[in-house]
Amino acid sequence: MSLQELYRYINWRMDPEDERAGERFSRIAEFFESISDELPHEGKVLDLCAGTGIAGAALAKATNAKLLTVLDARKEDLEKAGEWLKIAGISPKLRTVQGDAREAASLVGEHDIAVLWGYTMPHFDPFDAVKLFANAALTLSNDGIFMIEDGDRVYGILYRAGYRKFLIEGRRENCTIASMHEGYDVVRGTFKRGYYILPGFKKISTVEFHYWDIATQLAIGSVFFGEYKLIRRNDHRVEGVGDVLIFKKPKRKIAELLLE
């Protein structure tokens, strides 16, 4: 059982045939349009942990990109990336890569913008995050930009809401998806949660999460990039888009040393 198995049951609103995913695409594109003046145009866009490529297509549209590379572990999602380009009304060269974002530098060539969208950071523990940032830096041109959409889970989940040992994660026509706390790895800093189908309590998968705060992500990013900034959701005011971390001026030599 794996994360890929879980994703078959939980709707992340990224299927091109889903009307709500279409609304989400429009909002993502709206955000990228709002900051388009500080983004490279007519370049190469890399969408990491892309799923169906919904964010990458929105970014390619906002920057008139000539190449969109979508990288994800799930082949069945990657096959839908071309549909988002049709919806966006654009036709850059599309490249799909099945692989691990922690190894992106060995899987793809140089790009001008890399993006990690959709609150994906909890799937990376602190050791993985270092590899992620290093690989992102190595895939970018000297003026390249790395963007992450996320939220502060230390404050939002662990403090404000409180960590829940049992949680309803979503509902489908004939079942409910629930998760339960199943352990904590003190070395990796990850919470283990089992996912189950109700009724029947059939187990789907066990997934590990690291609950990131924003400050730590910015600090790790500052090791591999010369500039960083945060755009809070209250500042950009685009509904459905979270906080956005932006990193510029990749420190490629530091990234190379770390990966060696």
Same domain, 108 and 192: no
Per-residue tens of pLDDT for the chain, all 260 residues: 456 666 666 667 899 999 999 999 999 999 999 999 999 999 999 999 999 999 999 999 999 999 999 999 999 999 999 999 999 999 999 999 999 999 999 999 999 999 999 999 999 999 999 999 999 999 999 999 999 999 999 999 999 999 999 999 888 778 899 999 999 999 999 999 999 999 989 998 899 999 999 999 999 999 999 999 999 999 999 999 999 999 999 999 999 999 88
Same domain, 120 and 218: yes
> Residue 188 is encoded by which pair of tokens?
């990796």
CATH number, domain containing residue 11: 3.40.50.150
Query: Which residues form the domain of 171?
Result: 155-209
Helix intervals (H) in the chain: 3-7, 19-34, 54-63, 75-78, 81-88, 104-107, 126-139, 153, 214-224, 233-236, 252-259
Reference 46, options 35, 59, 34, 33; nearest CA is: 59
Reference 53, options 102, 5, 86; nearest CA is: 86
Same domain, 115 and 195: no
pLDDT score at 6:
67
Same domain, 73 and 163: no
Same domain, 8 and 91: yes
Same domain, 119 and 161: no
pLDDT score at 1:
44
Q: What is the pTM of this model?
A: 0.94
- Which H or E run includes 147? strand 140-150
Same domain, 138 and 176: no
- The count of structural domains within the chain is 2
Same domain, 112 and 25: yes
Residue 61 to residue 41: CA distance in whole angstroms: 10
Q: Rounded to a whole number, what is the largest CA-CA distance in the chain?
A: 53
